[in-house]
Structure 1
Amino acid sequence: MMTNLFSTFDPSTNIFNLSLNWTSTFIGLMFIPSMYWLMSSRINIMWNKMNLTLHNEFLMLLGPKSFNGSTFIFISIFIMMVFNNFIGLFPYIFTSTSHLTLTFSIALPLWMSFMLFGWINHTNHMFTHLVPQGTPPALMSFMVMIETMSNIIRPGTLAVRLTANMMAGHLMLTLLGNTGPSMSTNLISILIISQMLLLTLESAVAMIQAYVFSTLSTLYSSEVY
């Protein structure tokens, strides 16, 4: 039972002797609107408006000392996460964001690049982050250890937060779906309504988790200036 339940999160399953699960990561590229039309369509207008809103939001988080164009990497991460989270809600499509292989592969290089840039270019500023303002002298050494550990686990918390939230909703949908054949006819309508409400909730979670991942990455980046 448990093997079948978690098999939807196994990227090693093969279809026609080909491992096609990871192709769901790139399906979102087909939905990106073309930018080469002579006149902007409604999709392009909505796309540009969303990018501008995200740009202003991330620029405010990064602060005035950020480099020009640094917000675009976080916008790209947000769009990638949203596409993969939503695509995973469709039947028989592997949700790549529910696997630590993808989320940790994105979180770790981001965190590592922030740390290398900060310690190489703003060493004194990075040392001041280890001791919060107003810390008593007797607790300074203790606070340095706490801040260091909290900084080291950041890529892990980024990856696990997204993976756990995406996996939890899918497990609930799978559990409710598996109980359908054994339920009476009178309860089937209640099950369908519950599935629809849970699917609506998962759609909101898909967008919220993508926003949380990109926002936290932006905040971690802003601390190295």
Structure 2
Amino acid sequence: MLKIMMNLFSIFDPSSSILNLSLNWVSSILGLMFLPYIFWASPSRWSMFWTKITYTLHKEFNALLQPSHKGSSLFLSSLFSIILFNNFLGLLPFIFTSSSHMVMTLTLSLPLWFTIMIFGWLKHTHHMFSHLVPQGTPSLLMPFMVLIETISNIIRPGTLAVRLAANMIAGHLLLTLLGSTGPSLSSTILILLISSQILLLILESAVAIIQSYVFAVLSTLYTSEIN
């Protein structure tokens, strides 16, 4: 059973290589191929549509951020764009999904959390200490609340990374499992399978957008806690 599971998940491992250099991670920068023409071509429907999305995100992130952190909305909008591009590119055939691997998601979440913690403890030490003990906590429970709040802060980058990777790999795994049964099915059941695959692909497209938004919003909320 363990060998079967290892073979099943091995389809998500980087394997394409030239001269022992992995090429699958190149998919993480393929989104740049869609962007340069925006800076020199006349405004198109695509560029106006994307500008509208980023402007909406900018306003929403500013509403969640503290007044002193308003400039962070540009960085958070860029973070949303990077994750969204990688999630959507992973839905295309024969393209490696980098956002389904912890190496990619931890690379995004860990430095962000680490920077927030360093800035908060250096600039707003008293405020960070006050976060460890919620207002109205009985004196007897204060040591336990400090322990619980400390653990919850430490696991934040891990929860961000696992949430994104798990949601992306779950749908891909289900699509792979359903697709592998196709050759052994009759024509009638095969039509039902293809229909279900299309519906699942639409669902995965929605998940790609939602998970990008959730990652960016949670990062915004973590940033806004530093006053």
Q: Which TM class, normalised by the smaller chain length?
A: over 0.9
Show the counterpart of 1:62.
Answer: 65
Letter in 2 for 1:29: L
Deviations 1:158-216 (A, max 9, x none): 00000000000000000000000111222001100110110000000000000000110
| d(CA) in 2 for partners of 1:200, 1:44 | 23
Letter in 2 for 1:157: T
Letter in 1 for 2:34: F
Report the alpha carbon displacement of residue 16 of structure 1 after superposing the two structures with TM. 4.7
Superposition RMSD in Å: 1.3
CA contact (8 A) 1:103 1:162 kept: yes
Give the TM-score of the pair, scaled to structure 1.
Answer: 0.94
Deviation larger for 190-199 or 134-143: 134-143
| d(CA) in 2 for partners of 1:187, 1:107 | 42
Alignment: residue pair count:
222
> Equivalent pairs: percent with the same residue?
59
Letter in 1 for 2:9: F
Unaligned runs of 5+ in 1: none
Deviations 1:1-33 (A, max 9, x none): 43442223112x124545210011011111125
Q: Quick check: 1:35 aligned with 2:58?
A: no
Show the counterpart of 2:48.
Answer: 45
Unaligned runs of 5+ in 2: none
Report the alpha carbon displacement of residue 43 of structure 1 after superposing the two structures with TM. 2.1
Equivalent position SS for 1:27: helix
CA contact (8 A) 1:118 1:126 kept: yes
Pairing 1:145-224 to 2, within 5 Å after superposition: 145-224=147-226
Equivalent position SS for 1:65: helix
Equivalent position SS for 2:206: helix
| d(CA) in 1 for partners of 2:136, 2:87 | 42
Show the counterpart of 1:8.
Answer: 11
| d(CA) in 2 for partners of 1:168, 1:140 | 39
| d(CA) in 1 for partners of 2:27, 2:199 | 24
| d(CA) in 2 for partners of 1:55, 1:130 | 30
Letter in 2 for 1:198: L
Report the alpha carbon displacement of residue 104 of structure 1 after superposing the two structures with TM. 0.3
Report the alpha carbon displacement of residue 42 of structure 1 after superposing the two structures with TM. 2.0
Show the counterpart of 1:89.
Answer: 91
Give the TM-score of the pair, scaled to structure 2.
Answer: 0.94
